Amino acid sequence: MSNNQQTLLQLYCREQQDQTLLAKHDLDSDLSESADYLKWCESKRNFVEEDVLGQTWVKSCPAGYITEVHFHFDGSLTEYRLFDRFETQGHWQLRDGLLHVEILKGENHYQFAVVARADLNIHSTVEYKNGELHSYLKLVQVER
């Protein structure tokens, strides 16, 4: 199973199964052939550059940590905590329809691949912190 397929299956398990975050090595690959999984995949789409280039998004997790993310044309990004404007840096890349993001905060390295929702500009991902499974995130594209 490709890394993108694992990312999709991991997110499916979080959103449609028992709400648990599963490490990629704990995924049941047989689920990827189920009718429910295939139907869920139909609700997703590939990102295109226009979704990201020069755009601002809001990122949130179940614990309530909320940030504002600015995606720059050169592949860099700037992230601000929403209420105190603490700034961090990172970079992004579109690859195989997913939005791959890396953010550095002090000694912590965050990575995630965002999966686009087809019907709304509210997308989701599973985040890793320093290579370890960390959190489920929602990202919302801010319209101007």
Residue 10 has pLDDT above 90, yes or no: yes
- Tokens for 4, please give them: 């993108």
d(CA 141, CA 128): 21
Residue 70 has pLDDT above 80, yes or no: yes
Q: Residue 118: which of 39, 63, 22 has the closest Cα?
A: 39
d(CA 67, CA 82): 5
Residue 144 has pLDDT above 70, yes or no: no
d(CA 16, CA 66): 23
Residue 22 near residue 134 (C-beta atoms within 8 A): no
Q: What is the pTM of this model?
A: 0.94
CB burial string 113-140: b at 16+ within 10 A, e below: bbbbeeeeeebbbbbbeeeeebbbbbbe
Q: What is the pLDDT of residue 133?
A: 96
Q: What is the pLDDT of residue 143?
A: 74
Secondary structure class of 50 (helix, strand, coil): helix
Instruction: Give residue-wise pLDDT tens across range 84-137.
Output: 999 999 999 999 999 999 999 999 999 999 999 999 999 999 999 999 999 999
